Amino acid sequence: MKKYRPVLCLSLLTFFGSSAVQPCTATIILDDLRTNHTATLLKSGKVLVTGGLNEDITLKSSLLYDPRGGTFSATGSLVQARANHTATLLTNGKVLVTGGDVNKTALQTAEVFDSRSARFSLLPQTMTIARSQHTATLLQDGRVLLVNGVQADLFDPVQQTFAATTGTQPINRKSHAAILLSDGTVLITGGYVDGISSRKAELFDPVTQNFTELSASMLTARANHTMTALPDGTVLIAGGFSGTSPHDETEIYDPVQKTFTSSPKMLFHRASHQALALADGRVFVTGGTTLESGFLDTNEIYDPVLKRWSEDGQMAENRTFHTATLIGGGNVLVVGGVTGNRTVLTAEVLDPVTHNFTSLGNMQTGRNQHTDTLLSNGKVLLAAGSLDTVTLRTAELFDPATNTFTLTPGLLSVPRKSHTATLLQDQRVLITGGKSATGDLASAELFNSAIGQFSNTGSLNKGRALHTATLLPGGKVVVIGGVVTGGDETPTAELYDPATSLFTYTGSLKLKRKRFTATLLPDGTVLAAGGAILANGEGGGDRGTKTAELYTPATGTFASVQNMNAARQEHQATLLTDGTVLVTGGTYGQVVSDLYHSSTQSFSSVGSLIQQRSRQVALLLTNPAWGSLVGHVLVVGGDVKGGTIFGGAQVALDSVEIYDPSTTQFTSFGTLTVARQNHTATELPDGRILIAGGVGRPFVSDTAELVTP
C-alpha cells in the first residue's frame, strides 16, 4: 500500500499541471508532543495549532504552520493552558478559543488570537458555564454557537460577549458533532448523554434560538464521530463509539426530509478520526481508533456520486485525536494525536488527489512489443516481446502481493513480438501470431497459469503480426487484419474456437489494415478503427486512415461506419462506461480525439490531448479505489514522433494525462519515472496500475512502476 509523501518528501510528479521537485526529509517534528489540540486555517493560508496535551502536561504553546515552506514556527502562547477546547476562525480573521480543560477540570474562560500581533488575549467575559469536549459552530451572521452541558451560549464577536441562548435548551451532551446547514440552522447529533452514547439529534434555529429534537433519530448511537456536508446539501455521518466499540456504519441526514438513511459502511471501524470535504465533493477520512483499541494509519475516501468507500493511502504514523486541516493546493495537514500509549511528535502533509508513480524492482528481462494479461489469480502475465534486436521466448509473472517479477517455468514455443494475448473464458491465455526472425507467424499457443506452461494449439490460416484478437461473448476469439510477410496488410479475419482449438476464416475487412484498434462493444459487435493501409512495398511509408468498420459475429461480416475526424494509426481505443469508444492519439501528431457512438454508428470530435502521442496506453479506470476518477481514462507515455529508431520511436514520453468523460477534456495527471513507448499498463485487482517495459531513450527498458489510487 502506498505511503503518502511526508512534508517535503521528494516528488517528481507533475501534479495536474504544476511541477514539484522537493528534497526528501522525514515527517516534521513538532516542538511539543500534542494531542487533543486544535488546528485552524487562517485567512493567510497558515494553520494555527493551539494547546493540547503533552502526555500529562496541558500546553499553553501555539504554533503556526506555513505551507509555503512546509515549516512550523512558535507563535504567541495561550493565556491559559488548555486541551479539548475549540478554536473558531471569525469573520474578522481572528480566532476564538473557548473552554477546554486542565487536569480534567473544565474551563469557563475564552481568548482571542490576533494574527497581526501574533498574540492571544483573554476575553473579559467568560462563557456562561465551563465547557470541555464541546462544539463551536460559526453561524451565518458571524456569531458562534457553543453547545454542551445544560445550556448553550452564543458569542457576539462585535461585543465580545457570551450570552445563553434564550429559547428551548439543548440536550445535555458532550463528544457530539455539530454542523451548519445551508439554511442557517445547526444540526447536532450523538455524543454522550448521561454517560451513554446517543442516537438523538436536534436542530438549532439562530432566529428563535430554539433547540428542537428531531422526531427521527440516527440509526446508530455514536460519540466522537464526524459529520461532513456533501455537495447536494445532505450530511454524511461516519464512525464514532457506542460503549467501547468503534463503528464502520455511516448514514446520511437529509435536511429537507429531516431523516436519516443508511449509507455504505466505511472500510474500517473508526472513532475520534477526522473527516474533510474535498473540493471535488468527496470526503477524506484520516486515522482514528479502531477495533481492539488499535489505531489507524490508513485513510479512506467516500465518493458521494458512486456511493463507495475506497482506501486512499497511509499516513506515516497511526493517529487518533489528531487534527486534519485542508490547506492550499488541496493538501491536508495532519498534526499530532495519540498512537498506542504515546503522544505523536510529528506532523505530515497528505495529498488525497495526486497519485504517485513508484519505481519497482526490475523485470527479469527488458521487453518491448510484449503483451500484458491480468490473470484470474491477480497476477499479470508479461509475454515475449523483444530486447533490442533479440526476439524473446520468455515470459514472466508480476505478483502484486509482493511487487516482484518471476520467470514462468515454461517458455513460449517460438520467440515472438507484436503478437496478441487474449484471456479466454476458461482462464487460459491464447497467444497468436507476431513477428519472429523468420517472418510473420501463423502459430498460436495457450498459457496455463496453474502450471506456468505454454502449449501449442491450432495454427492461424495466415501468418500475421500487428493484428488484433478480441474475445467474443460466446467464447470464441476473432483475429482481424495485420501484416503478413513482406509488409503487406491483409483484410482477412478468422475465428478461434477453444473447444476445437481450430482457426476458421470469417468475413474480410472492407480495407486491409494493420496497427489499428479493435473494440468489443456492449452489443457484441467489434469496432475496427484506423490503422496503416499502405503496403511497405509501395513506398512512401505507412499511411493512416480515418476509416472504421463494424464486425458482426452473427453474420461474420464487416460493414463500414462513418469516418473518424482524423486519420490515425498506432493509436488507442477505449470503451467507456456509457458504451461509447474514446479514440486517442496516433502517428503524425494527432491531438484531437474521437468518440464513437454505437446508436448512430458515427464519430464526434472531443477534447484534444495535451501532448501529441502515439504508441501510448489508454486505460479505463474501473476499480472503486479510484473514487471519483472511476470511468476516466488514463493516457500513459508513448512517443511524440515516428521514426526508424527502435521500431518508430524517436522521443519516448514520460508524461501522463487523464480524460474526463463528463467534460470531454484532458488534464495533466503526472510523470512516469521512466519515459516509455510500446509498454504495457494493467489495472490490478486492488486498483493499482502496473506499467512495464517499453522503449525509453533509446534503450529497451527492464523497469516497471506502479501508480496508486
Q: Give CA torsion, residues 253, 254, 258, 264, to 10 deg.
A: -40
What are the Cα distances from residue 536, in Å, to 18, 179, 242, 303, 516? 43, 69, 74, 51, 16
Mean pLDDT throughout 461-468? 95
Are the beta carbons of 532 and 569 closer than 8 angstroms?
yes
pLDDT at 610 over 60: yes
| Residue 59, CA atoms < 13 Å, CB-side half-sphere | 24
Q: How confident is the model at residue 49 (pLDDT cuts 50, 70, 90)?
A: very high
| E strand residue ranges, 167-249 | 177-180, 186-189, 192-193, 196-197, 201-205, 210-213, 226-229, 235-238, 241-242, 245-246
CA distances from 496 to 421, 444, 510 (A): 13, 10, 21
Q: In what order do the strands lie in the sheet with 38-41?
A: 38-41, 47-50, 62-66, 71-75
Strand, helix or coil at 209? coil
DSSP state of 536: G
Our measurement of the distance from residue 459's CA atom to the centroid of its chain's CA atoms, rounded to an integer in Å, reads 43
Residue 89's Cβ-count burial label (10 Å; 0-12, 13-18, 19+) is middle
Among residues 441, 398, 453, the alpha carbon closest in space to that of 417 is found at 441
DSSP 624: G
pLDDT in tens, 292-347: 668 898 899 999 998 999 888 788 888 999 999 888 778 888 988 888 777 877 78
For 67, 378, 390, 479, 498, the CA distances from 425, given in Å and listed in that order, are 52, 15, 32, 16, 9
Tell me the C-alpha distance between 146 and 167, whole Å: 14
Collapsed DSSP state (helix, strand, coil) of residue 293: helix
Distance CA 113, CA 93 (A): 9
Question: What is the DSSP-derived secondary structure letter of residue 157?
Answer: T
Domain 565-709 bears CATH identifier 1.10.4190.10: no
Expressed in angstroms, the distance from the first to the final Cα of the chain is 10
- Does 232 or 361 have the greater pLDDT score? 232
**Which runs of E-coded beta strand occur in 485-580?**
493-497, 502-506, 517-520, 526-529, 548-552, 557-561, 572-575
Residue 472: pLDDT band with limits 50, 70, 90: very high
Task: List the grid coordinates of 144.
Answer: 458562534
Band (1; pLDDT cuts 50, 70, 90): very low
Q: 442-449 long-range contacts, Cβ below 8 Å, gap at least 24?
A: 443/413, 443/414, 444/496, 444/503, 445/412, 445/413, 447/373, 447/381, 447/383, 447/395, 447/408, 447/410, 447/421, 449/375, 449/376, 449/377, 449/379, 449/381
Which residue do the cell numbers 482462464 mark? 427
Is the torsion defined by CA of 617, 622, 623, 628 positive or negative? positive
Beta-bridge partner residues of 701: none
Consecutive H or E run containing 98: strand 95-98
Distance (Å, rounded) from C-alpha 136 to C-alpha 154? Answer: 9
- pLDDT (average), residues 577-602: 90
Give the residue from 73, 74, 114 showing the smallest Cα distance to 97. Answer: 114
Q: What is the mean pLDDT of residues 577-593?
A: 87
H or E segment and range at residue 314? strand 308-314
The whole-number pLDDT of residue 3 equals 30
Quick check: 24 pLDDT over 50? Answer: no
pLDDT tens column, 87-132:
999 999 999 999 999 999 999 999 999 999 999 999 999 999 999 9
pLDDT at 15: 22
- 135, pLDDT greater than 60: yes
pLDDT score recorded for residue 10: 21
Whether the predicted pLDDT of 590 surpasses 80: no
* pLDDT at residue 2 in the model: 30
Percentage of the chain exceeding pLDDT 70:
90
The rounded distance, in Å, linking the Cα atoms of 46 and 63 is: 10
Per-residue pLDDT tens digits for 539-558: 334 578 999 999 999 999 99
pLDDT in tens, 477-495: 999 999 887 668 899 999 9
Answer yes or no: is pLDDT of 665 > 90. Answer: yes
- The residues facing 384 across adjacent strands are none
Name beta bridge partners: 177: 189
Which residues have CB under 8 Å from 68's CB, separation 6+? 45
pLDDT of res. 280:
86
User: Which residue from 452, 449, 511 is spatially nearest to 480, judged by alpha carbons?
Assistant: 511
Q: What angle do CA 650, 654, 656 make, to 5 degrees?
A: 125
pLDDT, one tens digit per residue, over 159-173 is 999 999 999 999 999
The strand pair at 201-205 and 283-286 is best described as: unpaired
> Where does the pLDDT of residue 646 fall: very low under 50, low under 70, confident under 90, or very high at 90 and above?
very low
Per-residue pLDDT at 487: 67
C-alpha angle 291/628/372, rounded to 5°? 95
Q: Alpha carbon 575 to chain centroid distance?
A: 20
Question: Has residue 26 got a pLDDT over 50?
Answer: no
- Check whether 248 has a pLDDT greater than 60: yes
User: Residue 147: which residues within 8 A CB-CB, separation 6 or more?
Assistant: 134, 135, 137, 170, 173, 176, 178, 186, 188, 204
479 φψ region: left (φ > 0), alpha (ψ -120 to 50), beta (else): beta
Residue pair 35/337 in contact (Cβ under 8 Å)? The answer is yes
State residue 28's pLDDT score: 64
Least confident of 62-76, 80-94, 256-270: 62-76
Nearest residue to 617 via CA among 674, 664, 670, 677: 677
pLDDT at 565 over 60: yes
d(CA 542, CA 329): 46
Q: Give the separation between CA 297 and CA 183, rounded to whole angstroms.
A: 36
Q: Which residue has the cell 474456437?
A: 497
State the DSSP code for 470.
E
- For residue 341, give the nearest of 26, 33, 27 by alpha carbon: 33
